[in-house]
Structure 1
Amino acid sequence: MAILPLNSTTLMVCLCLDMRSDSSIITGSIVFTVAESPLKARAVLISVQGQGRTHWTVSERHTNTQSQTTHRTVTYSATCPYAEGEAIVWTPSQGGSSGLIDVGIHKFPFKFLLPGNCAPSFEGTHGYIRYFCKAKIDRPWKFDHTTKQVFTVVPTFDLNLLPNASLPVQSTQSKDTGFFFFKSGNIKLTARLHKGGFVPGESISLHTHIHNHSSKSINKIDVKLVEVSRYTAYRNGQTVTEGCIVSRSSQQRVHKRNVTQIEERLDIEKGSDLDLPLLIPIPPVAPTFNLCSIITVEYYLKIKATTSGAIGSKVSTEIPVLIGTIPIRYHAPIQQSPSPWQTPYPDLPQGMPTPDSSLPINDFGDAPPSYEECVFGAGTIKDEDDNKGFAPRYVFYPNINPSAPPLDK
């Protein structure tokens, strides 16, 4: 526990998530030292705040009646509040407007209950979802002592509550390679997953089948796990709440970034086939979510095969992937109601039979997950107080075994 000098305070926050209910409790303490002489103060306060925010600017061109062209910058932004509260942890004992805090070490514990509908912490290109506590020593006629601590919120997303998450997924793409009079034949690419839901720390078991009926050899396959974040903002700004209807003044932005990328060199000669199994590891990332009115996050696998030809030499396909916080257990009771903070979800495309009932239960040892720093690092969007390079920490299973059934099943 750090003890800092008089001109500074430190806020120590421990986030405790109740994984068995919809409540989240923040507990912590304000700790500071008064040195040399008593400190005159009106109160010691603690506050908690959580919100989603999107922001960007657009340059617009305008022409007046004299055919003169001007440009102006228009701001698009939106705020979605999730939590806001304040509590007084110390006041003068005599009931006066101010009092003295004695020399020495002082510790003031606090506790807050977050609402059950909070979206997960997220740092993106055009927006963020952040939660923080702020401590303040209110001093009369002087600058207040303040400090802020950002923390991560990760609601429970149990993949066992979504029936489609445990079902196989398949996608096929067929393409005539070449260009106009230089056609080189057809390539068929099929990608299969044994299930659609995974957790960070797990590896996605991907099976690809490449059918090369072209006159060129296939020399490479690329696989990417891609995060897609979607942002909504309003001209000149707006505060929105859950379930808010998107108005005509809103604008959307979409950003994609690669979570994991694998490249394999191949040699599939013309007229031949290849079955290729691959494992794609999932690092610490935010779970799939669509709870927030202004920010949503989803994932998909992009599989691309490349031939030795120079023109029209690529064929690719995509498979959506759900990322949760509790892994799938085969034989676990599947409830028909989705997770209360993750509804609704689009159905995953299905092209394979359901898992064999004789398969064993997914074994991850019932060991609790760790919480690891997001693979994308700290957010880049600054707020009024600056997030000081804070990076969210997400659920991560470091020793989980692949939970997909064998291909021959």
Structure 2
Amino acid sequence: MVVTCAIEFDNNSYGTYFAGQVMTGKVTLQADMPKQVKAIVLKISGCADTSWTESSTSTTSDANGRSSTQTQTTHYRGHEDYIKSKTYLLSSNEIYPNISPTDQSAVIEPGIHTYTFACLLPNTCPSSFEGIYGYIRYLTRVELVRPWKFNQNFTRGFTVLKMTDLNYDSPLLRVPSKSEAQKVFCCGPCKTQPLEVHVSLPQSGYVPGQAIPVSVLISNETKIKVEELKIELVMLVCYYSQTPSTRTKNQRIPVLKLKGDGVPVHCKKQFNYTLIVPATPPTCFNLCRIIQIAYQVEVVTKVKGWHADQVICVPVTIGNVPLLGVIQKQPMASADNFVPNGSGVMNRSFVANEESGDAGDAGEKKSTEANQVQSTVQEDPTEINNGAATSSVITPAPPNPWDADASIPPPSYESALHIKPAKLNLDEGQEYGETEFAPRYPVFKVPSPSASGKDEVDGVATSGVSPAQNSTWL
């Protein structure tokens, strides 16, 4: 290859940012021989997309009574833009206004050429997410526009996280959350005594890396054995379309699974389980109009025979700033830079009909032409808009919210195992750079709330399916 390209983020190897921060970095081009191009363009984009198809079948009859079946397929789509920036690093119609576009050209000389950039990420950006029927995705892309040839494109994804500070959310996140259900089984005119299931959590707000203690009390007064318990942390995603009409598509994504013991007839048992929240996107209801994300803990009581299982759901909120021991009376250091999540009790009405399912070198040189073009494109190097700008003076990014409390250690950043990486091949010209991208989310090491004074734990789930150990007879 004549030209290689590297997109690097300053002091951020994973490329993970919070909405409201300034993303800075550099584009390094290295050429081993002269390369003629019409332009070098840096595009920084952030958008949400939804897409799926639905088929419907109709039967019609003609005058002779013969019927025919027709199948119609409808493609539903939705789109929202959050960042849409385009910066000419080298050559553009604006730079050469007196030359016709067909005659414009520039030459990338042999050597290393470096271009710096900065982009203010809008405060309203929702968190990165990849799903089956849609995504919220942020990309940096360098395009080498070549005369009479396909463009060469170099792409790198980055993660944007909306600050979801549980301390500024509803006070109900600190209150124990409980749910219970009662079920009787019928055989003809006869009914059994009830099967009662009580599920409780010490609080309903958690962050990745934190443990969710789940307490389950089962009173089986029926004549039917409870064969098994299944405890899950589930992500519920609702996708919305805008064209050709408004429609919804739901996806149920198991995040964690844990299997527990059964309960014999006429017995009562207490179970205590722990679900360790893995890296995962935060709860999102009010930032993206076409993708909403919710979470719930599900306890499924599997009974013997043909009887339907009993399912209890307890909603939880996943954030990226953990609850502190004392409610914050004063804003944290980053409160001016991030809008707190003001949602109260979460609406789970959409759950019905869900579907499971270095470049560079110590002796590198900047080309004189590159620096000249940069100063032409960005007249004021200190100005940073909601898009890209080439700049030598960078406004410092706002501090991370946990910097205000020494008891919260800085998180690590990990990809979500239950989310498939994004395919970055856009089928536009010749694609180079990353072919896949997986967003990274903060994972904390913080204390977890205790479950109703119980010290013994019957099962712990960190990923996949974990068996339970023992339980308490009552």
TM range (shorter): 0.7 to 0.9
Please say if residues 43 and 88 of structure 1, whose CA atoms lie closer than 8 Å, have aligned partners that are also in contact.
yes
2:297 is matched with which residue: 292, 296, 301? 301
Which amino acid in 1 is paired with 2:235? E
Indicate the SS of the match to 1:234: coil
Query: C-alpha displacement at 1:300, in angstroms?
Result: 0.6
Q: Helix, strand or coil: the match of 2:167?
A: helix
Q: Could you tell me the TM-score, scaled by structure 1's length?
A: 0.81
Alpha-carbon RMSD: 3.0
Deviations 1:105-141 (A, max 9, x none): 1221111112111111111121111110111223334
8 Å CA contact retained: 1:328, 1:403: no
Q: How do 1:243-282 and structure 2 match up within 5 A?
A: 249-266=245-262, 268-282=263-277
1:232 is the counterpart of 2:240 = yes
Shift of 1:181: 4.5
Q: How does 1:285-324 map to 2 (within 5 A)?
A: 285-290=280-285, 291-307=287-303, 309-312=304-307, 314-324=309-319
Q: Is the 8 A contact 2:165 2:340 kept in 1?
A: no
From 149, 157, 160, the counterpart of 1:153: 160
> Where does residue 415 of structure 2 map in the other structure?
373
Cross-structure match for 1:328: 323
Q: Which residue of 2 aligns with 1:34?
A: 31
CA-CA distance at 1:65 after TM superposition: 7.0
1:160 alignment partner, SS class: helix
**Partner residue in 1 for 2:435:** 388
Aligned to 1:357: none
> Is the Cα–Cα contact under 8 Å of residues 177 and 313 in structure 1 kept in the other structure?
no
Q: 2:205 touches 2:317 (CA, 8 Å); kept in 1? A: yes
Distance across 1 between alignment mates of 2:125 and 2:184: 47
Question: Are 2:422 and 2:437, in contact at CA under 8 Å, matched by a contact in 1?
Answer: no
The question of 1:100 aligning with 2:107 is answered yes
Mark the CA change 1:380 to 1:103 in structure 2 (over 3 Å): closer, same or farther: closer
CA contact (8 A) 2:165 2:341 kept: no
Per the normalisation by structure 2, the TM-score is 0.71
**One-letter amino acid matched to 1:173:** A
Q: Note the 1:62-73 alignment, pairs <5 A.
A: 62=58, 66=62, 68-73=68-73
2:180 corresponds in structure 1 to: 172
- Paired AA for residue 279 in structure 2: P
Do structure 1's residue 400 and structure 2's residue 446 form an aligned pair? yes
Cα pair 2:16 2:160 within 8 Å, conserved: no
Structure 2 match to 1:360: none
* 1:198, distance to aligned residue in structure 2 (A): 0.5
Q: C-alpha separation between the residues in 2 aligned to 1:364 and 1:301?
A: 30
Residue identity opposite 1:82 in structure 2? Y
Cα drift, residue 61 of structure 1 = 3.1
Say if 2:181 is the partner of 1:139: no
Shift of 1:404: 4.0
Q: CA deviation at 1:380?
A: 6.2
Is the CA contact (8 Å cut-off) linking 2:422 and 2:438 kept in structure 1? Answer: no
| Aligned CA distance change for structure 1 residues 176 and 64 (closer, same or farther; 3 Å) | closer
* Counterpart-to-counterpart distance in 2, 1:146 and 1:111: 20
Query: Partner of 2:173: helix, strand, or coil?
Result: helix
Contact 1:42 1:91 in 2 (8 A): yes
- Higher RCO, 1 vs 2 (CA within 8 Å, ≥6 residues apart): 2
Counterpart of 2:345, as a letter, is P
Give distance in 1, aligned partners of 2:60 and 2:217.
60
Are 1:34 and 1:105, in contact at CA under 8 Å, matched by a contact in 2?
Answer: yes
Q: 1:303 to 1:65 in 2, by over 3 A?
A: closer
CA change 1:72–1:103 in 2 (3 A) is same
Shift, 1:143, TM fit? 3.6
One-letter amino acid matched to 1:392: P
Residue 198 of structure 2 is aligned to residue 190 of structure 1: yes
- Return closer, same or farther for 1:38/1:381 CA change in 2, 3 Å cut-off: closer
Structure 2 CA distance for aligned equivalents of residues 172 and 406 of structure 1: 16
- SS of the counterpart of 1:165? helix
Report the Cα offset of residue 379 of structure 1: 4.0
Residue 8 of structure 1 contacts residue 145 of structure 1 at CA under 8 Å; is this kept in 2?
A: no
1:356 is matched with which residue? none
User: What is the correspondence of 1:10-49 to structure 2 with a 5 Å cutoff?
Assistant: 10-13=6-9, 14=12, 15=15, 17=17, 23-35=20-32, 37-49=33-45
- What is the percentage of aligned positions where both structures have the same residue? 24
In terms of mean alpha carbon deviation, does 193-202 or 68-77 score higher? Answer: 68-77
- The code of the aligned residue for 1:102 comes to E
C-alpha deviation, 1:394, in angstroms: 1.1
Letter in 1 for 2:436: G
- C-alpha separation between the residues in 1 aligned to 2:234 and 2:226? 23
